[in-house]
A = this chain, B = another copy of it.
Amino acid sequence: MSVTAPQGFRAAGVAAGIKSGGARDLAIVINDGPSCAAAGVFTRNRVKAAPVLWSAQVLSGGRVRAVVLNSGGANACTGPLGFQDTHATAEKTAEVLGGSAPGIGAAEIAVCSTGLIGERLPMDALLAGVDMAAAQLSRDGGLAAADAIRTTDTVSKISFRRGDGGYMVGGMAKGAGMLAPALATMLCVITTDADVSAEDLDVVLRDATAVTFDRLDTDGCMSTNDTVLLLASGASGVRPDLAELGKVVTAVCADLARQLLVDAEGATKAIAIEVVGAASEHDAVTVGRAVARSNLLKCAIHGEDPNWGRVVSAVGTTDAAFEPERLNVAINGIWICRGGAAGDDRSKADLRPRDVTITVDLSAGSHSATVHTTDLTAAYVHENSAYSS
């Protein structure tokens, strides 16, 4: 299912030999139309990988006929030669897809890469993989494609939803570390067979990512390669109400974001920082992110220690509107901090479940937002001490 749940899409995932070990590492998703409207959002990191620079140009035209994605190398910080590699990947993909997709050009092909920063991709293997993947494109290829984009992800992440009138939205994503504000080291392709213009897709995608992937912050580290694409084939013939489409796309993004969170490197807890009583949504997100980034708090939750002092001290580092003596904090529903001081018995806060909700009431207004993070564990340290070597 995944990206091939909607009509009009084929996909494939193959082992091209980019990764050592023989796992799948190259995927193609093709939009057979009739429409090829598309939108994309990209990392806000100022150091952008070659495929991000390339794909942002492609998306500026609002048309994407195919996406080629690889794991095993980010193609970031690889200079002009790295950009040429991305260009060559798109040219090659256009060439081999030309048979089944007449008139397809490299400028309609988005490229995504993920893996280690700073090394050139093994282009011989990659280009041969494009041939292989193109030959295997099928309506059943969504799962193999989702598998091929994994790096340290332990499982594939896929999702799909049916919209009013019968159109479908499907998606796949990868990302396990470097999950941070502007989208994390995550790649995500969402497809729909609804008939929607590129302009409308852009609005829908920006709104959806703003409240899902943008509120996932597992380790505060923003990647060079984050890319979320939304492709519409129009094959269902349904022209959805945009608000309704927005809800469905947001649900798919939220589902994928949740899967990323649960599979985050080394995590044993999924922590929701729910900020309420904020003077603005911006304040709520700012506070949520500050708490989500506190290593000390993340360690405490790992140790199942309801150390609310670490929540309050993180709140205090922000410029959000609040008065220290009106702060309330609940952990899993127990208001252990009231009025900026100790509240209910902290021993009542049960931190044994995997899901932990930390509620911060700023007592400064009526806005709210939730930011998601994970605990900080020795396993995270271990995994990230050994990643590139």
A85 to chain B, nearest CB (A): 12
Is A340 within 8 A of B47, CB to CB?
yes
User: Which chain A residues numbered 66 to 111 have a C-beta less than 8 Å away from chain B?
Assistant: 74, 76-79, 82
Q: In the complex, what distance in Å separates the CA atom of A77 from the CA atom of B325?
A: 8
Q: How large is the interface on A (under 10, 10 to 19, 20 to 34, 35 or more residues)?
A: 35 or more
Q: In the complex, what distance in Å separates the CA atom of A172 from the CA atom of B76?
A: 46
Copies in the complex: 2
Is A309 within 8 A of B384, CB to CB?
no
- Residue of chain B at shortest CB distance from A296: B221
A216 to chain B, nearest CB (A): 15
Chain B proximity mask over A296-325: 1 for CB below 8 Å, otherwise 0: 100110111101111011111110001011
- Cβ-based interface call for A132 (8 A): no
Contacts A304-B389, A307-B388 aside, 11 further interface pairs with beta carbons under 8 A come to A46-B316, A77-B340, A79-B339, A79-B341, A117-B313, A118-B309, A219-B295, A224-B316, A299-B385, A303-B385, A305-B388
6 A-B pairs with least C-beta separation: A117-B309, A303-B385, A47-B316, A299-B384, A378-B378, A79-B341
Seen from chain A, the residues whose Cβ lies within 8 Å of a Cβ on chain B are: 44-48, 74, 76-79, 82, 116-119, 177-178, 219-224, 293-296, 299-300, 302-305, 307-310, 312-318, 322, 324-325, 327, 337, 339-342, 376-378, 380-389
